[in-house]
Every structure is written in C-alpha cells, then in structure tokens.
Structure 1
Amino acid sequence: MYKLTVEEINKAVNAGAVAGDKNTVIMGVATDSRDVLEGNLFVAIEGERYDGHDFIKQAVDLGAKAVMVSKDVHPDRDVAVIKVKDTVKALGDLAKYVRSRFHKPVIAVTGSVGKTSTVNMIGMALSTDHKVLLPEKNHNNHIGLPKTLLNLDDSYDYAVLEMGMNDFGEIAYLSSIAKPDIAVITQIGLSHIGKLGSKQNILKAKMEIIQGMDKEKGILVMNGDDGLLKGVKDFLSLRCVYYGTEEGNDYTAYNIQKYRNGGSGYNIKLNNREYEVRLNVPGYHMVYNSLAAITVANELEVPVASAVEGIGRFMPKSQRTEIVRTATGLMINDTYNASPESMEAALSVLGDLADGRRKVVVLGDMLEMGSYSEDAHRQVGVSCVEHGANLLILMGEQARFISEGAIKAGMNAGNIYLCDNHDRLRDLLTLPVKTDDAVWLKVREE
C-alpha cells in the first residue's frame, strides 16, 4: 500500500472530524480486528452480525495507528480517530483515491460464471515478467474490492480485480472506484435471475462495468460465443474485443483437445504466428477463461509466448474444480456456488475424467433462481443423464426437481438418493459410493 498520512486519508474520505496526530503514517488497512498489523488503519464496519466498533480495543492492541469510525469512540491509547458518516462508503472513497495514484493498467472481470478463474488466469498471463495485484479470497464486492485496491503501490505493474453483484447498481459502484482500463465480461447466465428477472436484465447489470471506464481509451473484452454479448458492440462507442471458439471472433481457439491426464489444450493464431496453449485443468469452460486471459495480455502488448507460459501454470483454487485422485477412483471437489452453467461445465469435466469409472453426481440446490428454480433444477437432472451419470445423490429443497428431470430423461429411480442434511449425505457417500467411482461433489458446505 502507498504510505498515507492521516491527513491524506481525512481529505480522501471527506471526514467530518479527526482526533489525534494528523501526520501519523498509515501502512495498510484492515476491516477485521483479527487481521490488524502494526501501523494499520482499522476501519470499523457495522454489519448484520458484528459491529467493528466493538473491536477497536483489540485492533489498537494489535498495532493499529488510526481507526475510522461512524460512532463516538474513545480509544485507551494515543491513536488517530477519523470520524465519518458511513465507514463502508469511506472505505470506497479511500480506495478510489489510492486508485487515482496508480497510473498503470487496471483490469476488471465480471460475468455470471468463470470470474475467479479468469481473474487468476489473467494474473498468470501477466505475471511471467511483471508484478500483478490480485484479489485475496473472494474479494469482489463493495468491501472486498476496495480492500484489494488499497494494497496497490507503484511496485505493481498491473491490478486485476473481480466484480460480483446481486442487484442493479452494484457493479456501477465498483467500476466508479476501480476505473478499469480493460473490462472483461465472461458470460451472461442465470445466476441472480431470481432477483433480476431476465437474462437481458443480467446483461444490463453486468454492463455497468463500463461506467467507470475512459470511453476513448478503454477496452471491453467479451465472450463472442455468448449471443447476448455478441450484439453489445453495436450500441457502444467503446472499443469491443471478442474471444471464443466460433468464427468471427477477434481471438479464436481451434483444434481444441482433451488430454487423458485431465488437462486440455488448443491452438490460437496471433500476430502472424500460431501458438499451442496447454492447460493443466480440464473443461471446455477453461478454454474460454484462458482465451480471455490471452486476449487481455495481447491487448496490453505482453508477449503472447509469455502469456501462454503463465497460463500453463494455472491451477484452480480449493473448492473450484479441485481433482483428488485415489488409487482406483477420483473425486472432483467443486463445492463453490452453483448455477446452471457451472453445473453443465462440471458435468462435462466429470465425463472427460471418468475414464470408464461409474459416474456419481452429488448435488445441492442452486440458489437465487426465483421462479426459474424448478425448471432449472429439472434441466440439471436431464443434463446429468445426458452426461452419463450412473448414480445421483441429491440434497436440498430443490433436490426433488433434479430427480424428476433425471427420471424423465431415463434414469432409474433406484439410482437416485435424496437426503435433507449433511449427516445423511456423509452416510450416502460411504454406502452406495464405491472406492473406484468417479465422484463429482457440488454441495455447499455446512
């Protein structure tokens, strides 16, 4: 993080009052008192379950040199106190100020699926010869994104950010803070359709990412195989660049292959030269994520060979298509948030890796589907059968609809197990499941 004085922070957030030494130098920002390091600013955020104001003493004891608050507080020790109306807004304002000091490219990624993998693949593509700031954990909201930006300083060459949303206006706010030079939209799917009502509205919400961009210099990178995204360029003055596997894209993958070790690969021709891209991760969807990364790297004039080399080292984070092999079987741990698109992608991966083993699919509910929920879950059941699933273990309120879809598509009801809690689920994973099965686990943790 840039070194900032309390006075600089005061001006950046338009604080109402400051107590203590305004010349105190701050090194780092924390919003969780357990994460405070010596010299940090502790921002007290009032949440649904906890109020950061209750943990100011702990933050100061751990070395916080200043606290940002929205309530009257009186720390026991001599620390600066920055009083604001809204600490969450002030956190965003401070991040916006830090971003204004960073004069190198910032890339932001949104979309219904593939955001985190794409962010990390872009990071790998750029990091062969450069230092890249990436989000920690799943920092993609109105608190997490500002926290990521606050780690910026001039030692970094690029920053790659993730932007998530639940409703209209949220990505617009994040874009106003991050002011991306390049924005990436991975795909428009059904996530959040329960709240937004239609895929057209989801597109509208995702397109808010351009609101903080320079309309003359900014670049919007999109999946050109997505029908909704393909027509966006006709309505924008912003430069639009498309990637995909179909003809007509600016960046096109061809000769796509699946490797027996679980990886995949393809060829791409850029700058009058052909490159072979080899991925250590399975799945057709990963081809798209890596294409987005190559597109961004090439637009930033990073050598394609370096980008391809970096992408080849990419491995997914825990709980995101993590493959665990045993002596005779395998388990695909993919317990992160589910959507119809991510379900379809993971079923394809299971089919690629099963290699003759019995395919066991363990599924939980997809959330935020609204009135689309029953049909969406039935379609997942159909997809399970189409991808050759032999056994289904289902948990959740919507499990019966997955079962209905699978039975309608031809699966024997005797090969479908329903449960309503994790204890029963664990029993089922040890009884009907065999040691040489290929198991795909897509159930949210307790």
Structure 2
Amino acid sequence: MGQIIKRQRPVIAVTGSAGKTTAKEMIAAVLKRRWKIFKSPSNHNAPSATRRHARLLRPFHRAVVVEYGMQFYGNIKRHCQYLQPHIGVITNVGRAHVGNFGGRVSGVAKAKSELIRYMKPSGTLLLNADDPSSALLHTKGFKGKIITVGIRNKADLKATHVHYKNGGMSFNVELDGIRHSFYIPILGEHNIYNALFAVAIAHGLGISTQQIRVGLKTFVRSKSRLVVYRLGRNVKVIDDAYSSNPDAAKAAIDVLSTIGTNTKIAVLGSMLELGKHTSKGHQEVGRYAAAKNVSHLYTLGSTAKLIAAGARGAGFPANRIKSFASRPQLQKALLQKMEPGTTILIKGSNQLRMSSIAKYLKRNAGKRK
C-alpha cells in the first residue's frame, strides 16, 4: 500500500455507524507503541469535544487519533473545522440515528460523507469493502488516496483465516507480499474490520509489523462492548449493552451463536433513534435471531416487542420468547434460567442502561435457587 502520509503530524479521524470507538482505540493502541500520541478519551465524540481536544494538542504529540460522532447533518463538518484530518476512517454506513435522516441510509451516508469533503483534500480515506452501504458515500471528486479493507470482497487489505481464539479473534494479513498473523482480545468478526483499519494506517505510517501485533494484542476494549463475564458452572454473560442498532444487534447475535454452548439466551432491548425505520429494523433483528442458533429470546422495552414479533413471524417458538417492561422482572427471569452452560447476550440502546443487568447477574449468580 505504501506510505500514506509524510512529514506533518497526522490527524486521524474515525467515524461510522458502528465500531468507531473500538477502531479508534485499536489505532491508538498501535501508534502509541512507537510515538507519544493524543487520543480522544472514551467516546467523547461530539463536535464540542473535538473543539476541546484541539486545544489540548501539544508539540510532543506525534499523532492525533480522534472519534467523530454524528447525529445530524453538519456535525462532521464542524468536527473537521476544529481538527482537519489527514487520514479519515469510515467504519461502515448503517442505521444508527437513521431517524434523524428521514429513515434513509442514504441520508446517513450523505452526512458521513462530510468527512470526505472536509478532510485534507490530499489525505487518505479508509473504507470497508464488505459494507454494501459504504457504496453510498460521496467519494467522487476526492483527490486523495482511498484504501479499502475487507474479509470477503476484493480489498487493498484483506483478512484471511479469521478464527475465534482464546476469547478473541485471530486473522492473517498480507503486507508487502508477506503474510502476517494478528490477534485482537475482543470477539466478533465485525471487529476484524476495526483491526484492519489499524493495520492499514500503522503500516502506511511506517510502524513495524511487530509493533502493530503488540499494539493490537494489548488493545483494551471500552466498557459494555462485547465484554464476556464467566460466572462459574460454565455460565457466560456477554455484555454488549453500550448501544444498539439493527446491524450491531445482528453482529452481537453472531457472537452469541458462535461462543455459546448449551442454552443461548439473547436479551435484546429497544433500539432508539431509528425513526421511520423503527418497526422494520426491530422486526429484522427478530427474524435474524430466529435464523441463528438461539435458544431463548427475551426483550426489554415497548418497541423491542417488535423484535419478538419478527422472531415469531420467522418461526421462532413462541414459548421461548418473553417480553418485559422492566429490568427487575427481566433480571429475575434470567437468574432462574441460568442453568450450567448458559450463555446470555445483553444488547440494547444505552438509555435502557442494560449493562446493569450484567452487573446484577454477576452479583447474584450464586444465589440462584
């Protein structure tokens, strides 16, 4: 792929409908193996946060890695006005906040495309070759370099031999004609794309393969993002409750289906800010769960009942679906269902505070009658 930036301190901005915090953390974990860098903390990704970050930059920062969040048109333009990126990453284009864009994914793509329009014109843009909606991004007229990453489709940087391994994922990548192996300590094939962005950027900036390998291996995930708790008796709780949208929920169900052993319970909460896409998006997730190897489906919240409806319509046995209006009711039901070998996935929009369910199960796992 060659060098992607020269001389000046690179500003690397990450946006996308899902995975942007994880991608940002992976990129930073790799670059800090070599340099003193500035990284935006946690998920502080509003334009006002970027303005504060710009004021915190110091001469000793050799690279800048920031996350650009977006809820409305114009948000990413403002980010770029405060900190103009040399390198831009769009992890994917999905249905997060789609309700703010007329319920259309094309609207989300248009808003995400502000990164392409307002980053350095001669910079480098990284895109997901396997994400069909990324084709909606407005790349025409971009005069910089575009690098694609992928697993299935043709891409500049492609992962092969992807496997679940030791509580994380292993994969191979060819760099300069030589195949290299990498490991990330987080589950889910969707996280391979985040790692590929980190590999592509670091390699293009001249970071050694060994530094990339160590950086990815020591990456620390954010809270409530596919954190697996092992509670004894081979009971596992997958806490992925930080946020949710239809694409992210399906990715989490894939993880449950893959790492679960005996009883697999999907606990899915309402997905917010879907607007006109609310009914379709929730039912789509229910149908997806029905097609996977899921034993029981529990939902939380009024609109999450549409997930249950979608699952029933796709043939999921009605006696294995339960919908709850409150967390306490749901928590008690889960506690009674935690037989040896049970794996429980917890996924929902952050406003539902579903990560507290994982904490409840951890505290009370030994109290089950």
Instruction: Tell me the SS of whatever aligns to 2:198.
Output: helix
Equivalent position amino acid for 1:128 in 2: R
Distance 2:195 2:290 in 1: 29
**Does 1:338 pair with 2:244?**
yes
**Does 1:428 pair with 2:336?**
no
Q: Displacement, 1:262?
A: 2.4
Aligned to 2:145: 239
Aligned partners of 1:242 and 1:251 also within 8 Å: yes
**Among 103, 109, 112, the residue aligned to 1:206:** 112
Q: Displacement, 1:426?
A: 2.0
Query: Normalising by the residue count of structure 1, what TM-score does the alignment of the two structures yield?
Result: 0.73
**Does 1:445 pair with 2:350?**
no
Aligned to 1:375: 280
Which stretch of structure 1 is more off in the superposition, 108-117 or 400-409?
Answer: 400-409
Equivalent position amino acid for 2:158 in 1: T
Aligned to 2:33: 128
**Does 1:256 pair with 2:169?**
no
Larger Rg: 1
Aligned to 1:39: none
**Among 100, 106, 110, the residue aligned to 1:195:** 100
Aligned partners of 1:320 and 1:335 also within 8 Å: yes
Equivalent position amino acid for 1:141 in 2: A
Instruction: Tell me the SS of whatever aligns to 1:431.
Output: helix
Aligned partners of 1:331 and 1:438 also within 8 Å: yes
Equivalent position amino acid for 2:95 in 1: L
Equivalent position amino acid for 2:231 in 1: T
Larger RCO: 1 or 2 (CA < 8 Å, sep 6+): 2
Structure 2: stretches of 5+ with no match in the other structure: 1-6, 355-369
**Does 1:152 pair with 2:57?**
yes
Aligned to 2:359: none
Residue pairs, 1:100-179, within 5 angstroms: 103-179=8-84
Aligned to 2:196: 291
Q: Displacement, 1:234?
A: 4.4
**Does 1:224 pair with 2:132?**
no
**Does 1:347 pair with 2:347?**
no
Distance 2:319 2:229 in 1: 27
Aligned to 1:180: 85
User: What is the root-mean-square deviation in Å for CA atoms of aligned residues?
Assistant: 1.8
**Among 292, 311, 317, the residue aligned to 1:406:** 311
Instruction: Tell me the SS of whatever aligns to 2:95.
Output: coil
Deviations 1:99-125 (A, max 9, x none): xxx951110000000000000000112
Distance 1:107 1:130 in 2: 14
Aligned partners of 1:283 and 1:349 also within 8 Å: yes
Q: Displacement, 1:299?
A: 1.9
Q: Displacement, 1:359?
A: 0.3
Deviations 1:225-263 (A, max 9, x none): 22343475444222211111134311111121222x322
Deviations 1:197-216 (A, max 9, x none): 21111111001113432212
Equivalent position amino acid for 1:142 in 2: P
Instruction: Tell me the SS of whatever aligns to 1:107.
Output: strand
Equivalent position amino acid for 2:69 in 1: G
Distance 1:103 1:256 in 2: 35
Q: Displacement, 1:390?
A: 0.8
Instruction: Tell me the SS of whatever aligns to 2:182.
Output: strand
Aligned to 2:209: 304
Instruction: Tell me the SS of whatever aligns to 1:150.
Output: helix
Aligned partners of 1:334 and 1:441 also within 8 Å: yes
Equivalent position amino acid for 2:337 in 1: P
Deviations 1:286-342 (A, max 9, x none): 110000111111222222331122111123111111110122210001111101111
Aligned to 1:17: none
Equivalent position amino acid for 2:245 in 1: S
Q: Displacement, 1:146?
A: 2.1
Aligned partners of 1:333 and 1:441 also within 8 Å: yes
Equivalent position amino acid for 1:445 in 2: R
Deviations 1:398-439 (A, max 9, x none): 122111111122222111111111222222222233353100
Per the alignment, do residues 234 and 169 of structure 1 end up closer, same or farther by CA in structure 2, a change over 3 Å counting?
A: closer
Aligned to 2:182: 277
Aligned to 1:21: none
**Among 225, 239, 256, the residue aligned to 1:320:** 225
Aligned partners of 2:95 and 2:245 also within 8 Å: yes
Aligned partners of 2:169 and 2:187 also within 8 Å: yes
Distance 1:241 1:351 in 2: 32
Aligned partners of 1:177 and 1:212 also within 8 Å: no
Equivalent position amino acid for 1:326 in 2: L
Aligned partners of 1:363 and 1:441 also within 8 Å: yes
Distance 1:246 1:442 in 2: 26
Distance 1:148 1:334 in 2: 27
Query: Normalising by the residue count of structure 2, what TM-score does the alignment of the two structures yield?
Result: 0.88
Distance 2:315 2:170 in 1: 33
Per the alignment, do residues 247 and 407 of structure 1 end up closer, same or farther by CA in structure 2, a change over 3 Å counting?
A: closer
**What is the identity percentage for the equivalent residue pairs of Structure 1 and Structure 2?**
28
Instruction: Tell me the SS of whatever aligns to 1:335.
Output: coil
Alignment coverage as a number of residue pairs: 342
Distance 2:310 2:134 in 1: 29
Deviations 1:114-146 (A, max 9, x none): 000000000112111112211222110022222
Equivalent position amino acid for 2:192 in 1: V
Aligned partners of 2:117 and 2:142 also within 8 Å: no
Aligned to 1:395: 300
Aligned partners of 1:275 and 1:305 also within 8 Å: no
